[in-house]
Amino acid sequence: MSSSSTPSQRGYRIPAEWEPHQGTILTWPHDARHWPGLFDQVPAIWARMVKELEQGEDVHIFIHDDATEQVAKNAMKKAKVQGDRVTIHRVPNNWAWARDHGGIFVKNNRGDRAVTHWQINGWGGQWDHDLDSQLPEEMARIAGVPSIKVPMVLEGGSIDVNGCGTLMTTEECLLNPNRNPGLTKEQIEQQLKDNLGVTNILWLGKGIMGDDTSGHVDDLTRFAGPSTVVTIMNDDETDPDHAPLQENLKRLQSMADQDGKPFTIITIPQPKPVLIDRAPTQGQYTPGTGFRIPASYANFYIANECVLLPVWDDPNDEVAIRTLKRCFPERRIVPIDSRVLTWGWGSFHCVTQQIPVV
């Protein structure tokens, strides 16, 4: 195969998240600007993730500096992390959103893997990303695979796939002028097809309130099987999320997979709005009356042995837990309070990136 051929032409495809992992990549947070007033609670959340993930796969952690490493080790010790499957990598970084560093793994049927290295621009120019732009090369290094640079801005949280050729995204994000203003919709679709091995691209509309990613799909609708999607809903007609989520549901109902088959659609109601004051008391989460954070049950992460599920101290938490148990009966459902984590504008899917097995 010619070196100028695309990953798709070389048989590469992006696996579904539920396919077996070699490990999960995390980037340990070190910059308090993303969690003003609550940053001291954040290390315990990362340590809890490590404790749950290490039971079923390797965990690779990017650590910015000495001080961050000490914080991480202390937090993991307190959480009783075993550590046999945990590896720390000293890699300078900007932020902790491993899903959005620009590295996405692909594999083929010959036992080859690679990292597609997409461009990032800090969610449309909102945050520093000079160090994070190099992290796809570190992902390739720790997995021992080549990287393939792609001339298009793409964050991992803006797409979701079923592993069989279908990719779902949103118009609000991928067609936003703050991402790829020089590319048409058709050119964006071609880049996705050429580099991720997909054949069927589905477009939802807008995201939810409080989401500063311009509508990442992983806060809206997720594949839970080759022909099954889980999507969040809001039945309160006075809520700003009601109309966009209804529109997304209408689109889903008219969509089909790569074989032309309609999807089984499972809905989960949103939690009530989660508000945080812009300057919360240091070290203490209290319900606020100010800024609405993007609270969603869709931002779950499917690991080998468990599913990390964001919950919100809301009656619908139990609905989400039951729903995910039905979708993933062979995995533990691990509900973790995400209110502090999402004060930084993401949840468990945003802060993880899977390495597929060969």
Q: Which residues are catalytic?
A: 350
Residue 27 backbone dihedrals phi, psi, to 5 degrees: -115, 115
Euclidean distance between CA atoms 302 and 283, whole angstroms: 29
Q: Which two tokens stand for residue 80?
A: 């009783």
| DSSP SS3 for 78 | helix
Sheet containing 58-63: order of strands: 86-90, 58-63, 21-27, 353-356
Please give the distance of CA 182 from its chain centroid, rounded to a whole number.
25
Euclidean distance between CA atoms 296 and 200, whole angstroms: 26
**Residue 62: which of 116, 135, 115 has the closest Cα?**
135
Q: Which two tokens stand for residue 25?
A: 């990549």
Q: Which two tokens stand for residue 340?
A: 């502090």
**Residue 233: which of 300, 302, 312, 297 has the closest Cα?**
297
